[in-house]
Structures are given as structure tokens and as C-alpha cells.
């Protein structure tokens, strides 16, 4: 049965009609939490006149996160990118780091920023994670680390990557930017490999406006990271290493503490939304939703759809154009692949030759809005737009091509 949104779709912007949504739906609309709790903490922080530099809220957040993730050390940082940088620096990595190209460019930039060489390995077309066979192929005598990414909040192929890292005496690290609140075989992501790095950016499931954390079981590494994030200070006026300012401030931690209190509600919303998308997108030819293993803990934040153009008869980009015309700001995460961006496309112009799955995924994948700012009714309309667009693929493609 066609919904009202479906009928109005016939007058959608590309046909010169009114848009279905009178507000914009974003991928990455922040979850806010209970603002009274946040404001109370901010007032307290202002009263105490302690705003940053390992204040009580940062310390409390680190302890609560360590408990939640069941990991020994949580080192809060100003964002995940700098978290990755201090981590690789603290481990004295040299030479090459093998990582996926199918990730947000920050992962590659962190490697390049340190003067290391990012070596892009291909991903598995179904999981979107590093393909161990490709990783094995990319390892050389200069490889000092493998940097996996738990894309969409699902664990990478942990066992296979651990075997490869061990065999080649390389560090195994994870960019867990998407994976806060997720588990693998019941164990929370945060304690795998030598260390993992979370992002608490505003667009993430759990946010501190800007922020991140490095998590590890390794006492010496945690100690080094703590010094490094604070200019290398090891005491009141002693500096033991080169450092940077990677500190999280109190107001950021206050946001994190507030959101932690309401985390289950956010997960419940995301989970229900994920099911609504699953139902709404069912049986659309050529479209497949990235699914979560419900036996694990998931944050269900990323609603990721792969479009097989041969079956759907429409390109991912036309689909995204139509959604944008209807105020649904679907994102092409991740497009282009890191290896197709600067400086990597100049530095490694042939990288794509061994990244066929990555290149295909970057043409197929789109992310849809989720989180507490998206409602069931919105999802029904978004799915109607997608269903209608796919079923009129050739006409709509032709129409858009005229512009
Ligand atoms: N590794 C991975 C795998 C990552 O995905 C990321 C970050 C990192 C590492 C690095 O983490 P951090 O150093 O940032 O902690 C956004 C985020 O800025 C970035 O953190 C995130 N990944 C990436 C996937 O998404 P953009 O350039 O796409 O952001 P932007 O400004 O286009 O915003 C995305 C959408 O969110 C827009 O539709 C607007 C909406 N939005 C955004 C903000 C900030 C809001 O509605 N409200 C807001 O406050 O990178």
C-alpha cells in the first residue's frame, strides 16, 4: 500500500514538486543525551575553574569507559586521528603500515602524517573489512604494523589478522572509530590487538563533541601515551619524550559522561531503526543492507546499503541525488577510497590494481540517517523514496542526466 510519502514522491523535487521532508535528515546527526545532566556538570566545572589537563571529569570518564569496555587502560584524547598518531608514535613504528583504503581518510592520514608509508590492502566484499589474504600479500620486510578498521562497528577478522601479525612480527592495531559499544564473541571491542582507537566525534554513536580514546591492556604503552598526549610531561616540570597536545578537555568529558548514562536508550533506538530499515528495504532488487550479528553487542549506528547497479538498474549516485533532492543527506561513505585521494593517488598511482573489491564498494555503498534524531515515520518515507526510485530507475536516471 502506497504511503502518503510515496504519493507525494511523484511531486518530488526532481519533478518540480514539493520535498517530502520539511527538515533535513543527516547521517551523523549527534545524539545529545539528557541536557540537564550535561549542564549540571558544566556548571560544576565552571564553579571549580578546572577546565582541562586531566581534570576530574576526564578521569571519571576514563574509569567508566574502562569498566564498560572491560579493558585495563583508556587514554582519552582530543580526537581519534591524534589518538592514532600518538599510538603509532608511542610504538616507534617504522617503514610501512598495512591498512584498508576503504575507511575514512583520517586512518591513512594518521599514518602518512608520521612519515610512515600507508600500504593499502583490499577488503572483503561482504564484511567491508581487511581481507587477510590481501594483507598477507602486502606485507614486506618493512612492515611494522597492520592497522585494521572495524568499519560500521563490526569487528574485523580478528583471529586471521592476529595470526598474520604474529607471523610477521608486526604490531596489530585497530581503528575502532565506529565500534564503541560493540563486541566480538562477547568481548567488547577495545581490548583486541596491541591497542584500539575510538572516535567520540559528534557524528559518532557515542560522542564528546570532539574526542577519542586509545585503549590497551599494555601498562607501559598506556603510560607512554599519557605522557605523549601532554607534551611529554612525566612530572611537574620533567619531560621524558617528544609530546603533543592530545588532551581531552573537561567539557568534552562532561558530554561523554552524560551520554554514557543514556547509552542503552540510544542503542534501543538505533536497533529499532535498523529493523525498520531492514523491513522497509526488503526485496528491493539489487539493494542489500549491511547486517549485524544480533548475537553480539552492536551500536547499530550505521545503516549501510550496497547497490548492485546491474540488478537495481540505477547507480548509487543517482540514488543519492534523489535522496538529497528529498532532504535526506545520505552519504557516500567511503567514496572515493583513500588510495584515490591526495596525496595517495599521486604517491601510489597503481594501488588500485590490487584493490578491486575496494573500488567496487566505493561505487556501491551509501549510508542512511540513523540515531535519535530519526523517527520510524522518517524511515518509512526514506524506504519509499528508495523503492520508488529503484522501480523507476531508467526514467529517473534519464531525467537527472538532462540537468
Ligand atoms: N577512522 C574512521 C574510520 C573514521 O570514520 C573517523 C572519523 C576517524 C578515524 C577519525 O575520527 P576523529 O578524528 O574525527 O575523531 C565525519 C566526521 O567528522 C568524522 O569524525 C567521521 N569519521 C566521518 C565518517 O564523518 P565528514 O567530513 O563526513 O563530516 P561532515 O561535517 O560532513 O558531517 C557529517 C554529517 O553529520 C553531515 O550530514 C552533517 C552532520 N552533522 C555533523 C556535525 C559535526 C550534524 O548534524 N551535526 C554536527 O554537529 O566527517
Q: Is the CB of 27 under 6 A from ligand 1?
A: yes
Across the strands, what pairs with 74?
A: 215
CB 271 within 8 Å of CB 154: no
Check pocket membership of 196 for ligand 1, CB cut-off 6 A: no
For CA atoms 149, 303, 211, 324, the dihedral sign is positive
If you measure from the C-alpha of residue 160 to the centroid of ligand 1, how many angstroms do you get, rounded to a whole number?
A: 29
CA 255 to chain centre: 19
Instruction: Estimate the crossing angle of helix 376-391 against helix 393-401, to 10 degrees.
Output: 80
What is the pLDDT at residue 9? 55
pLDDT tens, N- to C-terminus, the chain (403 residues): 444 454 445 545 555 667 788 899 999 899 999 999 999 999 999 999 999 999 999 999 999 999 999 999 999 999 999 999 999 999 999 999 999 999 999 999 999 999 999 999 999 999 999 999 999 999 999 999 999 999 999 999 999 999 999 999 999 999 999 999 999 999 999 999 999 999 999 999 999 999 999 999 999 999 999 999 999 999 999 999 999 999 999 999 999 999 999 999 999 999 999 999 999 999 999 999 999 999 999 999 999 999 999 999 999 999 998 898 889 999 999 999 999 999 999 999 999 999 999 999 999 999 999 999 999 999 999 999 999 999 998 888 887 775 5
- Closest atom, ligand 1, to C-alpha of 29: 46
pLDDT of residue 402: 58
Neighbours of 167 (CB within 10 A): 10
Q: Check residue 20 and give its pLDDT.
A: 84
Burial zone of 401 (CB within 10 Å; 0-12 exposed, 13-18 middle, 19+ buried): exposed
3-state secondary structure 330-372: CECCCCCCHHHCCCHHHHCCCHHHHCHHHHHHHHHEEEECCCC
Query: Which residues partner with 350 through β-bridges?
Result: none
State if residue 202 touches ligand 1 by the CB under 6 angstroms criterion. Answer: yes
Give the nearest ligand 1 atom to 83 CA. Answer: 13
The residue to which cell 575507511 is assigned: 103
Q: Which long-range contacts (CB under 8 A, 24 or more apart) does 82-85 make?
A: 82/212, 82/229, 82/244, 82/246, 83/197, 83/198, 83/199, 83/212, 83/213, 83/214, 83/246, 84/110, 84/111, 84/147, 84/173, 84/175, 84/197, 85/110, 85/113, 85/114, 85/244, 85/246
Domains in the chain, please, with CATH? 9-31+263-330+369-402 (3.90.1150.10), 35-261 (3.40.640.10)
Q: 104, 252, 337: which to mutate for ligand 1, most atoms within 8 A of CB?
A: 104
User: Which of 156, 172, 175, 209 has its CA nearest to residue 83?
Assistant: 175
Residue 335 CA to chain centroid, in angstroms?
14
- Whats the size of the chain, residue-wise? 403
* CA geometry: angle 169, 170, 175, nearest 5 deg: 155
Q: What is the pLDDT of residue 326?
A: 87
The torsion angles phi and psi of 112, rounded to 5 degrees, stand at: -65, -40
The ligand 1 atom at the shortest distance from the C-alpha of residue 199 is 15
CA gap 105, 342 in Å, rounded: 10
Q: Which residues contact 79 (CB under 8 A, 6 or more apart)?
A: 199, 200, 201, 210, 211, 212
Sequence-ordered strand ranges (E) for 101-194: 117-121, 143-149, 171-175, 183-184, 187-188
Which atom number of ligand 1 is nearest to the Cα of residue 210?
15
Specify whether the CB–CB gap between 146 and 99 falls below 8 A.
yes
CA of 1 to the centre of ligand 1 (A): 36
Q: To which residue does cell 555503498 refer?
A: 365
Q: Report the DSSP beta bridge partners of residue 98.
A: 119, 146
Task: Find all residues with CB under 8 Å of 59, minimum gap 6, and list them.
Answer: none
Q: Is residue 77 in contact with ligand 1, taking CB distance under 6 Å?
A: no
Nearest CA to ligand 1 atom 23: 104
The CA 247 to ligand 1 mean position distance, Å, reads 19
- Report which ligand 1 atom has the smallest distance to the Cα of 175: 1
For residue 221, what pLDDT is reported?
Answer: 98
**Ligand 1, residues 33, 85, 201: which to mutate, most atoms within 8 A of Cβ?**
201
Q: What is the pLDDT of residue 2?
A: 42
Look up residue 306 and give its three cell numbers. 550496497
Let me know: does 148 contact 101? Beta carbons within 8 Å.
Answer: no
| pLDDT value, residue 4 | 43
Question: Nearest C-alpha to atom 44 of ligand 1 is from which residue?
Answer: 202
Amino acid at each position: 500500500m502506497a504511503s502518503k510519502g510515496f504519493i507525494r514522491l511523484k511531486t518530488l523535487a526532481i519533478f518540480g514538486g514539493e520535498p517530502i521532508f520539511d527538515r533535513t535528515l543527516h547521517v551523523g546527526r549527534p545524539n545529545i543525551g539528557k541536557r540537564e545532566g550535561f549542564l549540571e556538570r558544566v556548571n560544576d566545572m565552571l564553579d571549580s575553574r578546572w577546565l582541562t589537563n586531566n581534570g576530574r571529569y576526564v578521569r571519571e570518564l576514563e574509569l567508566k569507559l574502562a569498566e564498560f569496555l572491560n579493558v585495563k587502560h583508556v587514554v582519552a584524547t582530543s580526537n581519534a586521528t591524534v589518538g592514532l598518531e600518538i599510538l603509532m608514535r608511542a610504538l616507534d613504528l617504522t617503514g610501512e603500515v598495512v591498512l584498508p583504503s576503504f575507511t575514512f581518510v583520517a586512518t591513512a592520514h594518521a599514518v602518512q602524517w608520521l612519515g610512515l608509508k600507508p600500504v593499502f590492502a583490499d577488503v572483503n566484499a561482504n564484511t567491508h573489512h581487511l581481507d587477510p589474504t590481501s594483507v598477507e600479500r602486502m606485507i614486506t620486510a618493512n612492515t611494522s604494523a597492520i592497522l585494521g578498521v572495524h568499519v560500521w562497528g563490526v569487528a574485523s577478522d580478528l583471529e586471521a589478522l592476529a595470526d598474520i601479525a604474529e607471523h610477521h612480527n608486526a604490531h596489530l592495531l585497530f581503528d575502532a572509530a565506529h565500534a564503541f559499544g560493540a563486541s566480538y564473541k562477547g568481548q567488547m571491542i577495545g581490548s583486541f590487538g596491541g591497542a584500539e582507537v575510538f572516535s567520540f566525534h559528534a557524528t559518532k554513536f557515542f560522542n564528546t563533541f570532539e574526542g577519542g580514546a586509545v585503549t590497551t591492556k599494555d601498562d607501559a604503552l598506556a603510560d607512554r601515551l599519557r605522557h605523549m598526549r601532554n607534551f611529554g610531561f612525566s612530572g611537574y616540570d620533567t619531560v621524558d619524550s617528544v609530546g603533543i597536545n592530545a588532551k581531552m578537555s573537561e567539557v568534552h568529558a562532561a558530554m561523554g559522561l552524560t551520554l554514557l548514562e543514556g547509552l542503552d536508550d540510544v542503542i534501543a533506538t538505533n536497533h529499532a531503526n535498523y529493523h525498520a530499515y531492514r523491513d522497509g528495504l526488503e526485496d528491493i532488487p539489487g539493494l542489500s543492507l549491511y547486517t549485524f550479528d544480533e548475537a553480539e553487542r552492536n551500536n547499530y549506528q550505521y545503516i549501510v546499503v550496497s547497490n548492485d547497479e546491474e540488478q537495481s538498474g540505477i547507480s548509487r549516485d543517482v540514488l543519492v541525488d534523489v535522496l538529497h533532492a528529498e532532504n535526506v543527506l545520505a552519504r557516500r561513505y567511503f567514496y572515493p577510497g583513500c588510495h584515490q585521494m591526495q596525496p595517495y593517488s599521486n604517491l601510489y598511482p597503481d594501488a588500485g590494481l590490487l584493490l578491486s573489491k575496494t573500488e567496487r564498494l566505493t561505487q556501491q555503498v551509501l549510508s542512511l540517517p540513523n540515531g535519535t534524531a530519526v523517527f520510524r515515520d522518517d524511515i518509512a518515507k526514506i524506504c519509499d523514496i528508495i523503492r520508488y526510485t529503484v522501480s523507476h530507475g531508467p526514467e529517473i536516471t534519464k531525467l537527472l542526466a538532462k540537468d
